[in-house]
Chain A
């Protein structure tokens, strides 16, 4: 691969990451990956009315409340990030 090509490939990838939140890469940490997974899941639940109804019925809450709590959970769905190693 010529250096030029590598350069463009990288910028494309960077562009992709900037444009599409949640796009994976080789060095993704477990935490990042699972957090993205959960955010994707939560937003897809909010975006599909039958699924939202299903969860609201199971939980005994109003759809509006379930939607609100799901969106709230997107802020930090899997707890705080792990501590970084100080090496």
Chain B
């Protein structure tokens, strides 16, 4: 087996975000790390919308990001710390729209290791140096400068190591132009490691240490080290330094040390200031639980600065520092607003706050005010004795605030994010769909969602209106060349034409000069201010003063089809003749003296727009009934001479020539594409050579069951093509590459561009007798999402075999269940304690739920109707039970009536795993699956993490035991058991009497149930320990599985052994066979292995295109959706593997990670080709493309075609 890995949806998480002027212009941009990708976002200050400028796979794991600007420069660079053992400085080049690696300095081994730097980055705010640090010991300082030619230079590293020190955080201090200072939070473990009494451990101090880079001596010294709060976790830079001109201090310098429950201002030889982190006064809150700050941002304005700190509940606090010169008078903290918990916050100078959520959608907020004059209580360090530091070891009294809806911020934009995908299913449930949908359970806590993903572009409809008849075509046109918007909508019916004018309202007009008694074939705004209508009997040229010049078709002939642009008109007559007109300089339409006979009925014509600065387009494409397309010259030298010919497999129904940019073919100029739609629903795309008019590089795509119609439209000011068949597709350029995506919209019979004041970028179309105006809001999106909110983190879901409902289990740890919460409130009421009901009513999806101690669970079973997109019913679990697994089981003792079995556990602790009791809850369906009736609960001794139907019974993985249960009256009855699994069973799959068991730490085991002896036997396992997350059977002997470290692999059992096991009726043979390597007697063989960089949570064997081959689709916790496509031929394997090898050498990773070692992170990559790397071939410079193609004995076009074909045939994307 050889697989081709393709990412359909790249990760949508944001592990970090930085802001800066990366393109060097005045606008600020945001760079976000998506774990293994870097993306540059540009906010539109007017509309407040974010748009992606570029996204680039780095083929490595990004661990830290920092923006950096040299003194006096206006451009920011991005510094990346990754798992490559290298520090990388990236520059965004707006010209080529790509990240350029300026420097790559190697300092250590690759991999996210303990003492290899890359985890933390800190930059000097004056842009002189950067510190990169590991989790333990190692810290390196690089000096950055510019050379004579103003290029960025980087020094060799200076070490600031400290042995046996665990580093919690580092930050660069703002000291103006004095020597750069870095602060680090460190804990030394050498003493605790030596002290058996544990006293040293208890007394271990967390040190705040300053490292000074002496620029004169070129070395780093430990300047100052003082113990701080032992629960400190984060450092924030405080502005400092003097303004050269006025001697005024920008701020006091130093750091904010964020600790559990407190914020401390700290600087060398200066008094400390401490304020508490305010808490919510929630009745159910645990007052013992500390609060930490998870992310922080500092913002400098003219002469002032403030901090926004975010607690782990999502509350933002504004911290201000009162200072006189460089002396701090007070530190003040107050509640600001509540937003989702972020991994990074970015404040933009234009007044926006970007919240890169740790889970779920990302948000852009606009500042309405800065919370300066409101009634929010403010806590100042001066209100506590000795500025809060009278007794640093004891906490300050709790400070409280009341959370409220957004006041200082207003939502401006939202970026959809699937992160985390916890479970998924791929099936075709929606009506009128020929491709399957991907259903995903996403998100965390109260912001969880159930999302339906459909392949295609989202369409926003703005107008839909019924027409008197069924039109067969629609056009819009301007009146004059320089009009901004369209003036008329022209509808052609079988026996007439209707003209509507676009104004305040859309209404019919008569006096336009158009012929209304005949259908229309083409409409064109021609010349400077004239209009043109082509109808079967002739052509009407309507001049600006409403005079009409007519050309009539010869007696007995009609016009069958026509094509037009601003200066040229070509019509085809029913006699298979072409007539060519061109506009002369006086604005008169002149017929060319000769007509050209084609010899076969003409079915389609197309010319492109007149190229900029030219008189005419030189090529005409003519499609004929005899299954050919000819390119005919319109050049004055050789007018109407046939240049080239292309044979087709079916008669063409439409042709469309369009000049579009596709960087894989030509980086700088648009390429002329001839798109040919056939009667049988196939679209051919060929490239027209502008010099000799030959057609090359043909690619085909099946669009649908109806004859294709092609329309040239404008999308975002760029030419695009709408292809209409039984589905509508849009062919457009996005980020310089061509995309071909279906529209998620009703079938369109015809469409055209539409531009009016209300909808400047719209499209107009007809479906039956309905006229509709719509827009495409987000280009580049390949999957449209529809979501249903959930109450808790989803765990697993399954689809009912008959009823098309989803049954989903959800549960949250450290949250009080409804029952427990009510009980607690009841007790408080009885104790006459004050209960703040307003706090209880806060919507959890905005504010989260109060955190409870470990071992508390809130959980529910939810029934979802995916077609209607709504929740039908929710059943909450009581007794602090949480659901972990579920399955449909047709119990044979109950006439195969399908039951739902849910594996739950009470009072579960995760580490070490324990529970007071596990349960298998058996439900019967009522009202056709809408309701559930609990039949009984069966106790188990451990958490049932996996359950599955098996031969009319239930098989459950309960901790280390695999058990078979039979349905009973009061309970499920245990029939067979095997307790030899090593850790815990997390996944189950079956075929026949074989059960494939995934163990939490010990990979995949093959077990078999031998009914005659009622034995469950393990007969094969893996030679490697694997921390299994998901597994699925590829065939009877083969299993594909993923582990916690981002690997996906395929294991296969030898067919001989498989037969041998199946032939043994009692299993006695297996029972007495000698085990190998302290395990089962047989071992599986690893066929494929690949590291994806994301933790794979589910794998499915599906076919994504109707009639297409089956592929393995996987989803990742960071929101990745990818496929593994099996190669069909050995030639393909050789070809693509060779291409991959070339790409590895040509396309270095942006973070400097060796591609082969990245894809073979834990185990060498085996028999999997990285399609994502191969597809970057399209972005290579032309010379490199051709040299690689030369090595492969192909042309560039052939290589690109092969890559596209692999993607399209496997996924349709």
- Which chain A residues have a beta carbon within 8 Å of chain B's beta carbons? 18, 20-22, 32, 35, 39-40, 43-44, 46-51, 53-54, 56-65, 68, 71-72, 74-76, 79-84
Contacts and interface: CB of A to CB of B under 8 A. Distances in A.
A25 to B, nearest CB: 15
Interface stretch (B195-203, B372-380, B985-993): B195-203
A57 B910 contact: no
Contact of B910 (A18, A49, A58): A58
B312 A84 contact: no
A43 B137 CA distance: 12
A81 B195 contact: yes
Interface stretch (B163-171, B935-943, B1072-1080): B163-171
23 contacts: A21-B137, A21-B163, A22-B115, A39-B136, A47-B61, A47-B83, A48-B61, A48-B112, A49-B13, A49-B15, A53-B419, A53-B420, A54-B1044, A54-B1117, A57-B359, A57-B444, A59-B854, A59-B910, A61-B312, A64-B292, A80-B196, A80-B201, A81-B196
A63 B115 CA distance: 22
Contacts of A83: 196
A63 B112 CA distance: 18
B358 interface: yes
B114 A40 contact: yes
Contact of A49 (B61, B187, B854): B61
B295 interface: yes
Interface in B1150-1169: none
Contacts of B293: 64
Contact of B445 (A35, A51, A60, A71): A60
Contacts of A75: 166, 187, 189, 192, 201, 204
A31 to B, nearest CB: 9
Interface in B1090-1145: 1093-1095, 1116-1118
B195 A63 contact: no
Contact of B1046 (A50, A56, A68, A84): A50
B1118 A53 contact: yes
Contacts of A43: 112-114, 119, 134-136
Nearest to A63: B358
A74 B987 CA distance: 31
Interface of B: 13, 15, 35, 61, 63, 83, 112-115, 118-119, 134-137, 163-164, 166, 168, 187, 189, 192-198, 201, 204, 231, 233, 292-295, 312, 341, 343, 358-359, 419-420, 422, 444-445, 793, 812-815, 851, 854, 910, 1044-1046, 1093-1095, 1116-1118
A35 B815 CA distance: 32
B1092 to A, nearest CB: 9
In the A-B complex, list the 4 residue pairs whose CB atoms are closest, starting with the nearest: A64-B294, A47-B112, A60-B813, A60-B814
Nearest to A41: B114
Contacts of A84: 196
Contacts of A32: 193
B813 A63 contact: no
Given A43-B136, A64-B312, A74 B189 contact: yes
A20 B136 CA distance: 11
A80 B204 CA distance: 13
Given A62-B294, A65-B294, A76-B189, A51 B1095 contact: yes
Contacts of A74: 135-136, 166, 189
B1104 to A, nearest CB: 24
Contact of A81 (B35, B194, B341, B358): B194
A68 B910 contact: no
A40 to B, nearest CB: 5
A76 B815 contact: no
B1044 A51 contact: yes
Contacts of B197: 80
A12 B698 CA distance: 63
Contacts of B187: 75
Given A22-B114, A64-B294, A59 B814 contact: yes
Contacts of B422: 57
Contact of B1118 (A18, A50, A80): A50
Contacts of B164: 21
Contacts of A82: 196
A75 B137 CA distance: 13
Nearest to B1046: A50
Contacts of B115: 20-22
Nearest to A31: B193
Given A50-B1095, A53-B359, A75-B189, A59 B813 contact: yes
Contact of B193 (A64, A68, A81): A81
Contact of A53 (B13, B812, B910): B13
- Most A C-beta atoms less than 10 A away, residue of B114, B134, B854: B114
B1001 to A, nearest CB: 13
B201 A60 contact: no
A21 B114 contact: yes
B776 to A, nearest CB: 32
A72 B387 CA distance: 28
Contact of A62 (B63, B312, B812, B1094): B312
Contacts of B118: 47
Contact of B295 (A44, A61, A64): A64
A79 B201 CA distance: 9
A72 B194 CA distance: 18
A60 B445 CA distance: 8
- Most A C-beta atoms less than 10 A away, residue of B63, B164, B196: B196
B312 to A, nearest CB: 4
Contacts of B83: 47-48
B291 to A, nearest CB: 9
A69 to B, nearest CB: 9
Given A80-B201, A81-B196, A57 B420 contact: yes
A23 B925 CA distance: 59
Nearest to B83: A47
